[in-house]
Amino acid sequence: MGRQTSARCKLCRREGEKLFLKGEKCATEKCPFSRRSYAPGQHGKVPVRGGSEYRIRLREKQKARRIYGLSEGQFEKYFEQASSSRGATGEMLLELLERRLDNVVFRLFSSSRQAARQMVLHGGIEVNGRKVNIPSFKVKVNDVIKVRPSYAALAKLTAEKTPDRTPPTWLVLSGENEGKIVALPKREEIDTTVELHLIVEYYSR
């Protein structure tokens, strides 16, 4: 995952919608986007008139990249993998992004992808009984993801703060602080609000 050094809430304001980059804070009145939904910068309040086809596709690509916290080079590599795979390129791209270990930890145990990434980097996650500290690690069907004891309290706190949260159908909680990949993710099971065809068109220009 690419390192984000600027304020993450500015990214939501730039894209004109909440990207839920800061977990539960995004659902509260403290969310900066709720108070300032216009774009950041000196001319942020000036409405953008229309937009070229290139701009529309660029913004959709940027939105997807920021949701998953990737650098430009990382995102482009995922697109290249998706375009060389069998199936619809956009759907394959989304599947590859969802199969990242940091995203799976976010879906199962964490309040944000950034927090999930930190959990992975600091050695708080096991895959099939082995510690994995690579956020981009690609999970497979039947892989078992478990929070190590050092991060169990944090995972429990997240679960208490978001009691109504349930993982997508391709993931199941198989035990305390433990989850399993039961299928590959499909587009209809993923709540990420991106127009995949616009991203494909951006790279196909």
List, run by run, the mean pLDDT of 10-residue segments along the chain (205 residues).
52 57 56 58 55 88 91 96 94 96 93 89 95 97 94 81 81 91 93 90 91
Question: CATH assignment of 8-97+191-203?
Answer: 1.10.1050.10
151-171 burial: b if 16+ Cβ within 10 Å, else e = beebbeebbeeeeeeeebebb
176-205 burial: b if 16+ Cβ within 10 Å, else e = ebbbbbeeebeeeebebebebebbbbbbee
Q: What is the pTM assigned to this prediction?
A: 0.78
What's the confidence (pLDDT) of residue 123?
Answer: 94
Range(s) of the chain covered by CATH 3.10.290.10? 100-183
Q: Answer yes or no: are the C-beta atoms of 13 and 38 closer than 8 Å.
A: yes
The structure tokens listed for 201 are 């068109």
Residue 119 pairs in a beta bridge with none
Range(s) of the chain covered by CATH 1.10.1050.10? 8-97+191-203
Task: Please name the fold of domain 100-183.
Answer: 3.10.290
What's the confidence (pLDDT) of residue 1?
Answer: 42
Q: Could you write out the DSSP letters of every residue in the chain?
A: -----S-HHHHHHHHTS----SGGGGGSTT-HHHH--SPSSTTTTSPP-S--HHHHHHHHHHHHHHHTT--HHHHHHHHHHHHTSSS-HHHHHHHHHHTBHHHHHHHHT-SSHHHHHHHHHTT-EEETTEE---TTPBP-TT-EEEE-HHHHHHHHHHHHH-TT----TTEEEEETTEEEE-S---GGG------HHHHHHHHT-
Q: Residue 167 and residue 85: Cα distance in Å, rounded? A: 26
If one counts every other C-beta atom within 10 angstroms of the C-beta of residue 148, the result is 15
